[in-house]
Amino acid sequence: MLRVAEDHFSDTHTGRQRRANEDAYFARAPLFVVADGMGGAQAGEVASGMAVELFADGLPDGGGGLEQRLAAVVREANDRIYRRSRSDSAHAGMGTTLTAAYVGDDEISIAHVGDSRAYCLRDGKLMRLTRDHSLVDELISSGRLTPEEAEHHPQRSVITRALGPESHVEVDTRTHRARPGDVYLLCSDGLTSMVSEEQAAEILRSAPSLREAGRRLIQAANDAGGRDNITVVLFRLEELPEAVADTTSDDQATMAGGSALRAEAVREALAEPAAVGAPAGAPARAPAPPPGRPRRPRTAPAGPTRSRARRWLVPAVVVVVVALIAAGAWVASQTVYFIGTDSHGQVTLYQGVPYDLPGGIHLYSPSFVSGVNATEVNTTRRRTLLDHTLRSHSDAIDLMRRLERGQLAAGVGR
């Protein structure tokens, strides 16, 4: 299974020749969106913003695969933009392009309308994953124009499909088989109209990080003239850690008896060991000899030795009982999980209970660090998600997956 690595980048720039930025983007793993608005400064900004905001709650539940669910959100965006443009004269004629990518277990699903693009850099080679809905691209497909001629065609910015102009829109979708190490680029045409694919590939190959690569791409577009708004979203894929893989049958068997463990029970077991009776499984006392049968004489003196033995026996039993209780409590604590944050503010899944013992001993350990910072989570969600509630493994993993899919956070990058 794959996940989005922490090395990612997303930003937008007005460019050198525009006064306003009509681009918008949404970048929160596993969902990434770029939109390029049109119809005038305010109207274009409104259209692109409306499009990306619909992705803030993740994809809709229900039947259909990822492609169908992505397309459903795009069509809803088209409907809302169209109705706004018809009802508000200030926004008449507005529209936007949109390219969205969703990271699945081992594939990338894409929904696309317009001439914003999606690329994949694999083994140093840059592959385009989308086809422009533009006049020049149709001329290239029909053989009436070469790719080289299209770069300088006076109508290269004319698009033939967008969200908003019509009540219905055709959405292109595809699924791309992903690999660990793949780098994905989503961008508006403010980048691709200024920077060639060969130049973009070289920047991606040579940059020490995706953050630096993103900055260099935007700078290259501005250095070439920056005629349009420039939006760049970059992310890399890596193997999903074993800690968040599906629960194995052994884990399920372990959790069967521990998933209902309550925080109070663990706290009592840790805080009040003396109140617990002898542990189950302790060796039974030896039976008393039958009445009338003489005891065997002891060779060692019985008085002082027996007294010393009794003085040591009680503390020893207490130590053993406390140790067994502590061991049992520790084992029990490792069947539960809670969600909090690490020292960097990243939402983290912990195994154990959220308590510390004297001497700096933690009764928990990090199991999985997400790619989501706590500041990206809606305040209300944050209060309930990060409250250290004890959860079963399956429940905690489900919440972490929903978080990374963008179903528990909120906020749209602009």
Count of domains forming the chain: 1
The string over 240-266, giving b where at least 16 C-beta atoms fall within 10 Å of a residue's C-beta and e elsewhere, is beeebeeeeeeeeebbeeebebeeeeb
What secondary structure letter does DSSP report for 391? Answer: B
Both tokens of residue 84? 């706004």
pLDDT of residue 163: 97
Q: Is residue 284 part of a domain?
A: no
Both tokens of residue 267? 């706290």
Q: Is residue 103 part of a domain?
A: yes
Q: Is residue 41 part of a domain?
A: yes
Both tokens of residue 126? 């840059």
Q: 5-14, 126-135, 283-292, 366-375: lowest mean pLDDT where?
A: 283-292
Q: Is residue 301 part of a domain?
A: no
Residue 34 binned pLDDT confidence (cut-offs 50, 70, 90): very high
Q: Is residue 320 part of a domain?
A: no
CB of 153 closer than 8 Å to CB of 136: yes
Q: 């953050």: which residue's tokens?
A: 211
Residue 170 is part of which domain span? 2-240
pLDDT of residue 365: 80
d(CA 235, CA 33): 12
CB of 392 closer than 8 Å to CB of 37: no
Q: 13-22, 119-128, 334-343, 370-379: lowest mean pLDDT where?
A: 370-379
Q: Is residue 359 part of a domain?
A: no
User: What end-to-end distance do the CA atoms of the chain give, in Å?
Assistant: 30
Q: What pTM was estimated for this model as a whole?
A: 0.60
pLDDT in tens, 351-409: 888 877 766 677 788 876 766 777 777 776 777 778 788 888 777 777 876 776 666 65
Q: What is the CATH number of the domain that holds 207?
A: 3.60.40.10
pLDDT for 77 beyond 70: yes
pLDDT in tens, 251-304: 333 333 332 222 333 233 334 333 333 333 333 434 444 444 343 444 444 455
Q: Is residue 124 part of a domain?
A: yes
d(CA 52, CA 213): 24
Q: Is residue 55 part of a domain?
A: yes
Share of the chain above pLDDT 70, in %: 67
Mean local confidence (pLDDT), 54-73: 90
CB of 39 closer than 8 Å to CB of 48: no
